[in-house]
Amino acid sequence: MKALVIGCGKFGVRVSEYLAWRNHEVVVVDNDSETFLALSKEFTGRTLCGVGYDKEVLEQAGIATADVVIGCTSSDSLNAVVANIAKNVFHVPIVIARMYDPIRARMFEAMGIYTVSITRLGLENVVEYLEGIKSWRVVRKFGSDVQLVRARVPASLDGKKYSELEVDGKVRLMAVERQGYSFVPQMDMFCEYNDILYLSVSDDYLEQARDLLQL
């Protein structure tokens, strides 16, 4: 896979090094060449100094043949511009943008642009997305024992009772989003396809919880 990473701050470095370590072809773009010094000696990708939203710079980076573009700068506006160019001008198959603003993030996800907004979990979310686990996303960690997970109900669970998704001491359903509305579910209610579930999951039960949700 060929990946363009726009922005070589802490998050950009982590994403770039992980992808390179997984033997992907990586090009990192930043307008400050000194940021590239943060990359380890083991980094096997390429760096390019230039403005990340400049079409000529993106073309030099190889965006025309890129499989994924990831906007990793600290600016929502810059990441939004890069994502828009990658998605709508160069038609890159996978576009990911780091977003701090949740409203803008929802807007971009509706446009088919995956967003990550929590620095601490950003890399995990990018990795999960690129590995095809688009229906399961870690939202927050509570210490080392519990994770808050955002999961989308698959068609296979349509009509299943919410109570059947809980496991005592391991999985607890906290809230549901359905067609833009959020509510605290009652256990005698039924899942609907594409419901968004927020569950607290014990750290030692993540794989079983994913199996339970058929994801």
Pairing assessment for the beta strands 94-98 and 2-6 based on DSSP bridges: unpaired
Average pLDDT along the chain: 87
- What is the structure's pLDDT at 170? 95
pTM of the model: 0.59
CATH architecture of 2-134: 3-Layer(aba) Sandwich (3.40)
Q: What's the chain's Rg over C-alpha atoms?
A: 19
CA dist., res. 197 & res. 200, Å (int)? 10
Instruction: Give the Å distances, CA to CA, from 23 to 1, 39, 43, 129, 148.
Output: 8, 16, 10, 17, 31
CA–centroid distance for 205 within its chain: 22
Both tokens of residue 89?
């001008």
Q: How many CB atoms lie within 10 A of CB 168?
A: 6
Where in the chain does DSSP place strands (E)? 2-6, 25-30, 46-49, 68-71, 94-98, 114-116, 136-142, 146-152, 171-178, 181-183, 196-202
Q: What's the rounded mean pLDDT across residues 11-33? A: 92
Report whether 83 contacts 71 (CB < 8 A).
yes
pLDDT band of residue 102 (cuts 50, 70, 90) is confident
pLDDT tens per residue across span 83-96: 999 988 999 988 88
For the chain, what are the domain ranges? Answer: 2-134, 138-212
Report whether 96 contacts 114 (CB < 8 A).
yes
CATH architecture of 138-212: 2-Layer Sandwich (3.30)
Positive or negative, the Cα torsion across 75, 130, 46, 10? positive
Q: What's the rounded mean pLDDT across residues 105-121? A: 69
pLDDT tens per residue across span 162-196: 999 999 999 999 999 887 788 999 989 999 988 88
